Amino acid sequence: MIDKIAIDGPAASGKTTLAKLLAEELDFLFFDTGVMYRAVTLAALQNNTPIEDESAITALAQKLQIDVRPPSKDDGRSDDVLIDGIDQTWAIRQPEVDSRVSEVSAYAGVRKALSEQQRRIGMRGMVVMAGRDIGTVILPEADLKIYLVASVEERARRRHKECIERGENMTYESVLEGMRMRDEIDSTREVAPLQPAEDAVILDSDDKDIATVFEAAMSLMNGARKTDSD
């Protein structure tokens, strides 16, 4: 039985969209782990905790209450993200968070605090989890692991479009630059670096629309189900 699905990959590779569609199709929980790293980063920026201060940032990650609930507003959000009870759904997507989140998520103590919660939820099963280290660290026992890739230029184009739609005045070049920086930090950090699990299937979403990627993922699902019942 397929019970746990891991979707990993770099920024704007389409993880969230694919994971959401799969979760809907299977009636599973969708869990976007990036939200948690973003929440810690936002809280640090808001209360002026220096991002360089590893022990203060780790303490923040340990005490922060992060909740994800069904959407309370019809403004394009797929969930409400509450940090210590306050709705921060859009605030965690700000460019300021984008530019510092990879530093925060490289801290071992932060990862430990957040990954314990992630694993607890993942182990309940019937879940599609998206992130960077789901297949390698959080849920190595996942029944299906997909690692989504796309060129950095294509990913920057997608993210730039999202920013413009939200009314943020960013240039394509600055989005591309930020994305390159984040890829570099995420894939070279010591703890849980971004990399495909050995048993992950790599899907390239360059030049593919979401329907095509979803179809490819569903046929992997069906293949895994079949092997399972053989």
Rounded Cα distance between 79 and 67, Å, is 10
Q: Which is nearer to ligand CDP, 60 or 101 (CB)?
A: 101
CB 106 → ligand CDP: shortest distance, Å?
7
Between residues 12 and 43, which has the closer beta carbon with respect to ligand CDP?
A: 12
Which of 34, 140 has the CB closer to ligand CDP? 34
The nearest distance, CB 129 to ligand CDP, in angstroms, is 8
Residue among 159, 153, 179 at smallest CA distance from 14 = 159
Distance in Å, CB of 23 to ligand CDP, minimum: 15
3-class secondary structure per residue, 3-70 = CEEEEECCCCCCHHHHHHHHHHHHCCEEEECHHHHHHHHHHHHHCCCCCCCHHHHHHHHHHCCEEEEC
Contact residues for 69 (Cβ-Cβ < 8 A; gap 6+) = 79, 80, 82
Picking from 192, 130, 179, 116, the residue whose alpha carbon sits closest to that of residue 151 is: 179
- Give 51 or 225: the residue with its C-beta nearer to ligand CDP: 51
Residue 104's SS3 state is helix
| Minimum distance from residue 12 beta carbon to ligand CDP (Å) | 5
CB of 91 to ligand CDP, least distance (A): 13
Length of the chain counted residue by residue: 230
d(CA 200, CA 130): 13
Comparing CB distances to ligand CDP, the nearer of 58 and 102 is 102
Minimum distance, C-beta of residue 139 to ligand CDP, in the bound complex (Å): 11
Residues that bind ligand CDP (CB under 6 A): 11-12, 33-34, 37-38, 101-102, 105, 131-133, 182, 186
Complex with ligand CDP: residue 2 or 129, whichever CB lies closer: 129
d(CA 172, CA 169): 10
